[in-house]
Every structure is written in C-alpha cells, then in structure tokens.
Chains A and B, each alone.
Chain A
Amino acid sequence: MEIQATEYLDVAKRAEELGLNVPTGLAILPNNFDTATSADELIHEGTTPTIRSLWRQSGVIETRLEKDGSKLPQSAKKSADWISPIIFVSQAMLTNAALPLTINLISSYLYDLLKGRHGKTQVAIRFVSERSEKTQNGQNKKSMLLTFKGTPQEWKDFDVDKVRQLLEGKNN
C-alpha cells in the first residue's frame, strides 16, 4: 500500500469562505475544495454518489457541504482505476468506531465491484483530518491529506486502524 501525506487547508474556515455548511463529523469534500475561487466552481469526484449511497444504506451520517437543494457536478473518471472523493474525518470521529466501519464498507464494495480486475486496478482512497497541536503560542490546528493507494486485495487485507493512527498523526 502506497501512502502519501500532504498538508491541507483549514477545512472549517474554507467551508465558511465558500458559503458552505461546516463539516462536523464525516463529510465529502469537492476535488477542488482547496483551489476553487467560488462555490460555483466546485466539482465532486465521480465516485461521490456511490459513497454517499453506500453510507446512507449503512446508517453512516455525513455532513453535506452543499446547502439544501444545491447539487454539485461530478468529474467522470478516465481510467479503470478507482479514486475516492476526499473524505473529511473530524478529530472527534478519529476515536469513534464509525471510522473503521466507514472504511470497511468502501473496501468490501470495491472488492466486489472490481472482481476480475483485482490485479490491474488501483484503488486510491483520500482522507483529510485535522488535529490540534500544542505550540509555544498555544493551540495550532493542522490539516493533512492522506492518500492510500493499493489493489482491491491490498485494501481487503489492510488494517483499517492504520488509517486512524496516521490521521491522528501517529507513525508520521
């Protein structure tokens, strides 16, 4: 499993700037959440509706950034690889049992979906999380975007607790 970590912006502040709902627990961020100049430009990853449906059917609650009644377009995938939307996980949710459930739901679905293509298709799942760190000037909020890339089989065998640990800033 290949893991990439990059710094990300303050999600709550950015959501307010764009006039969106501020996520509290679990949320899906548009692909260009960090670069869009206005909410009109926002585009979701093409896999967003599938993830939402999967969560809804399993009782996983998300905060929708979009205001009621508004919908964002989605980008269509170009390759056989499967890329998740950016999944925001709040600090409070990191210790919650809902996170492993959320990840297992996705990896089980993908294992079935990508049958016959297990050796050829890569799956990338992206998470953003925030954590507070004590600094000399007080508390400092830091956001990280973590991209986990592997085959469906690697995802099935993956210890989902590793995601939580990395999002918490352990093993960094």
Chain B
Amino acid sequence: MTDEHSQISGEIEAFQDKFQQALQEGRKFCFVTRAKEFQLQARDMLKNLAKNTATLKKKAITAAYEDAANLLLSYEETTNAIINELNMWIALKEDNPDAAWDYLVNAETAAISAMKAHVSASHLEAYLEHLDALEHHMFPKQMFFSPGMIIKEARCSICGQEYGECDHLAGKPYMGELCAREIVHADLEEASLVPNPANKHARGIFITGKDGIRRDFLTWRPASEKPSKQAQQGKKAIKPYLM
C-alpha cells in the first residue's frame, strides 16, 4: 500500500462513523408516521453526506485506489437508497403515488448497486427485504411491461468500446463506477406483460374497467387526458442495466 493509499484509508476510517450515524439518523424518518418536515430535513442531510462521499471517492480515484473507490461507491449508493425511500414517503404524503413508486424502485436499484459495488454492503439484503415488503403491502400488484428488442450496437459504459470486446463486465465495479451495457442501436420488436421485469419503472399506468372508465391504476381516480404535472415531475428515469 502506498503512502497516499494509507492516507485515504485513514480518511475513510474517520468518515465511517459519521457515515453510519447519518444513515441511522436518516432511517429514523423512514416511517409513514414521521412528519414530512423532518423527512425533508433528513433527506437534505443525506444529500450532503452523498456530496462528502463523492469528494472522498474522487480522491480515491485520483490515487488509483480501486478498492477504496468501490467502497465509497457502495456508500454513495446506500445513501441514495435511503434518500429515495425518504422521497417515497414524502411523495405519498403529497398524494403522488406514481412518484412514490418510482422512488421505491430507485431505492431498490440503489441498494442492489451498493451490494454489487463492494462486499461490505452485503448486509443490505435485509434492507432489500424491507423494500420488498413495502412494495407488496403498500402498492397494488402492478402490471409490468417489457420491450422485446434486437440489439444492433451496445457500448461499455466504462471504456466506450463495443460491449463484449473489452475487459469490463456489466454489473461489476471498476474504480468507483459500475459497468453497464449501453444500448446505442436497437430495433423494437414488441412489448409484453411480464411478472418479473428487468425494469420495474415500465408498468401499466391506466386501466379501463368493465364500467368503461379509464382510471389511474394506483389511485383509482378517473384519469385525466394529460398526466398531472406532479406525476411528470416525479418521474426520474434510471437506466436499467442490461446483462
């Protein structure tokens, strides 16, 4: 280990307590009964934590200290998961279940990314079970859609080369970044209903019942022609990993 790496290890060690305390503080407000103003405060506090983590990660990357960079990526994603869970509770209080769903899916994706980034995040298995319980108890069973595509060209998100021709593998961490396969050119073939989709953001939003009324699937309110501004603002698409 170089002197620079030792110094970064020391900084991470000093940061760890602060990180764990901040996460615990954030999770304290991940309940429906907690007041919205405290949830907003907790979210802002975690956003600052994410910034500090990113600064430390940048140092690790500059020093080419891969294990530390991946550990800090895992911290970033763990923080991201809690921020998204808080956003979910806030969105539910704002009567915006569409956004709440997207935040829940983002939280799940972030927790999974944290686990992929570094072995130290393997304890998040229990947190994922918690998110899974929220999904099944708070939301009606969703209808997921999945596009069938023929991929003509895909690139590696790490080096930009054709995916499969370089030495990076989708889902693996490389110097503080998870490798993803980015589709550059594909032909859409069809869309199907699937029970276990690759991307849970792709779901049926409206349903028309026997009464002929088109309803919002989550709220059951008759749907307006245009999606609400609130629902559109809540949409934060995340690129799904293709493996």
Q: Mark B121-133, 1 if CB is under 8 A from A, else 0.
A: 0101100100000
By a CB distance below 8 angstroms, the chain B residues around A82 are 243
Tell me if A113 and B192 are in contact (CB < 8 A). no
Tell me if B164 and A73 are in contact (CB < 8 A). no
Question: Is A116 an interface residue when CB atoms closer than 8 A count as contact?
Answer: yes
Interface of B is mostly: mixed
Which single member of B111, B122, B128, B183 contacts A76 (CB below 8 Å)? B183
Task: For chain A, give the interface size range.
Answer: 20 to 34
Q: What is the minimal beta-carbon distance from A104 to any residue of chain B, in angstroms?
A: 15
Tell me if B194 and A79 are in contact (CB < 8 A). yes
Beta-carbon contacts under 8 Å, A100-145 to B: 109, 112-113, 115-117, 120-121
Tell me if B116 and A73 are in contact (CB < 8 A). no
Tell me if B116 and A113 are in contact (CB < 8 A). yes
By a CB distance below 8 angstroms, the chain A residues around B172 are 112-113
Tell me if A116 and B112 are in contact (CB < 8 A). yes
By a CB distance below 8 angstroms, the chain A residues around B198 are 77-80
Stretch of A7-15, A40-48, A154-162, A163-171 that contacts chain B = A40-48
Tell me if A80 and B149 are in contact (CB < 8 A). no
Taking Cβ atoms with an 8 Å cutoff, the residues of A that contact B are 43, 46-50, 52-54, 56-57, 73-82, 109, 112-113, 115-117, 120-121
4 additional contacts (CB under 8 A) given A46-B243, A75-B148, A81-B196: A73-B150, A77-B243, A80-B196, A116-B125
